[in-house]
Amino acid sequence: NSEVFILAIESSCDDTAAAVLHNDKVLSNVVANQLIHTQYGGVVPELASRAHQQNIVPVIDAALRNANIKKEQLSAISFTQGPGLMGSLLVGSSFAKSMASALQIPLIAVNHMHAHILAHFIGEEGYEKPSFPFLALTISGGHTQIVKVNDYFDLTIIGETTDDAVGEAFDKSAKILGLPYPGGPLVDKYAQLGNPKAFAFTKPKVPGLNFSFSGLKTAILYFVQKKKLENPNFIEENLNDICASIQYTIVEILMDKLKLAVKETGIKQIAIGGGVSANSGIRKTIKEAEQKYGWKTFIPKFEYTTDNAAMIGIVGYQKFLSQKFETSAVVSKARIQF
Ligand code: KG4
Ligand code: ZN
């Protein structure tokens, strides 16, 4: 069947998103960001659920309208089952269930982290798809994983964080520097103007392919506190250099583990995904690794890096082809493995 239309819904954290795909092509991709959390310095789960409830109908309407698709044309509805905030997930799954039931079409559950990886299979001009097997580095606000991807539905986590996710490392560093939430993109912005070698932060010693980022956060906190005693304007006067040095250290930590993963698996195809793959330092360093180490690297289109529903749609499409459907009894899961 070459005429598959999937409506995809993503509501795992603080973005309400909907997309319509025609086979592997994205017809529309709508994201409503919840700005309410900025004033609290982080996502407030209760407020996120409420905002999803307000946004979900207009976001889905917009996705169908932008795609120029009538709901009667849809082949199936895919939604994020987890991982994520339970209250947020429930809004998306309940809506998906009701709509699939009303239209009498299949319902497809999608793992959010699986979607960050399969986002590379969205049909997009100028973007090549990886071939199996490849290594995926998924880096987001909630996860940091190296995954061996053998096939669409055969994935093995070979390394992950033992504490904070890399996005948290960016956001918490930003908070220490007095930057608003989410600080990751701001650290990136200032880092591009600074000297990455200005300040040295020690990298954590974690065995194997696992990561740790909580020590780095503490090191940055002590460093800033000490420097501020000497010069109260230290942050303001050195913001670009501090951000560049933090970003450099984080990228080094990720690259060290990727190099080890390549050595251990013999796989030289690397795909990055998740919100932090929007980071300019990571994108540049990964690209340079093609020349440096003979890797073939895959970086998703910018709008498919941070949370979006197009990636939920591409998993939906693959699951549709394999007839991997759910009954209406399917439940949301705050924690879920592949
Ligand atoms: O994948 P995502 O949108 O949501 C989760 O599933 O967590 O990732 C959000 C994370 C946040 O921590 C945000 O600060 C980080 O991605 N992020 C960045 C950049 N853009 C987003 N971190 C560093 N540099 C960026 N350019
Ligand atoms: Zn995500």
pLDDT for res 37: 85
Range 232-238 average pLDDT: 97
HEC letters along 156-224: EEEEEECCCCHHHHHHHHHHHCCCCCCCHHHHHHHHCCCCCCCCCCCCCCCCCCCECCHHHHHHHHHHH
Is the per-residue pLDDT at 19 higher than 60? yes
- Phi, psi (rounded to 5 degrees) for 107: -115, 130
Is the per-residue pLDDT at 335 higher than 70? yes
Q: ipTM of this predicted complex?
A: 0.98
Range 11-31 average pLDDT: 96
Confidence of residue 249 (pLDDT cuts 50, 70, 90): very high
Is the per-residue pLDDT at 13 higher than 60? yes
**Side-chain half-sphere exposure of 264, counting CA atoms within 13 A:** 14
Asked whether this chain's domains 5-119+305-321 and 130-299 adopt the same fold, the reply is yes
Q: What three-state secondary structure class fits 31?
A: strand
Q: What three-state secondary structure class fits 21?
A: strand
Domain 5-119+305-321, CATH:
3.30.420.40
Q: Is the CB of residue 190 less than 8 Å from the CB of residue 243?
A: yes
Distance 307 CA to ligand 1 centre (A): 8
CB neighbours of residue 152 within 10 Å? 18
Give percent helix, percent strand, percent coil of the chain, each to the nearest 5: 50, 20, 30
CA distance 104 to 43: 35
* Choices 3.40.50.300, 3.90.1150.150, 3.30.420.40, 3.40.50.2000: CATH for 130-299: 3.30.420.40
pLDDT for res 38: 83
Q: What percent of the chain has a predicted confidence (pLDDT) above 90?
A: 94
The answer, yes or no, to whether the previous bond of 185 is cis (omega within 30 of 0) is: no
CA distance 219 to 60: 44
Confidence of residue 1 (pLDDT cuts 50, 70, 90): low
Q: What percent of the chain has a predicted confidence (pLDDT) above 70?
A: 100
Q: Is the CB of 142 under 6 A from ligand 1?
A: yes
The answer, yes or no, to whether the previous bond of 133 is cis (omega within 30 of 0) is: yes
Q: What is the pLDDT of residues 175-233, one digit of tens each?
A: 999 999 999 999 999 999 999 999 999 999 999 999 999 999 999 999 999 999 999 99
Q: Is the CB of 109 under 6 A from ligand 1?
A: no
Q: What is the pLDDT of residues 92-105, one digit of tens each?
A: 999 999 999 999 99
Q: Which of 306, 308, 312 to mutate to test the pocket of ligand 1 (most atoms within 8 A of CB)?
A: 306
Q: What is the pLDDT of residues 33-91, one digit of tens each?
A: 888 888 888 888 999 999 999 999 999 999 999 999 999 999 999 999 999 999 999 99
Give how far Cα 27 sits from Cα of 66, 123, 313, 321, 329, Å.
7, 11, 11, 19, 29
DSSP assignment letter at 138: E
Tokens of 29: 């991709």
231 is in an annotated binding site: no
Q: Which ligand places an atom closest to the C-alpha of 184?
A: 1
DSSP assignment letter at 123: B
CA distance 141 to 121: 22
CB neighbours of residue 22 within 10 Å? 19
**Closest-CA residue to 98 (of 7, 198, 171):** 7
279: alpha, beta or left? (left if phi > 0; alpha if psi -120 to 50):
beta
142 is in an annotated binding site: yes
Can you give the pTM of this predicted structure? 0.94
Range 292-311 average pLDDT: 96
pLDDT for res 34: 83
What are the residue boundaries of the structural domains of the chain, listed by start?
5-119+305-321, 130-299
Residue 134 amino acid letter: F
Confidence of residue 2 (pLDDT cuts 50, 70, 90): confident
Residue whose CA is at the smallest distance from ligand 1 atom 1: 275
State the chain's mean pLDDT as an integer: 96
Residue 320 amino acid letter: F
Q: Is 70 exposed, middle or buried (0-12, 13-18, 19+ CB in 10 A)?
A: exposed
Q: Is the CB of 274 under 6 A from ligand 1?
A: yes
Strands 134-139 and 25-33 come out as unpaired
CB neighbours of residue 328 within 10 Å? 10
pLDDT for res 107: 98
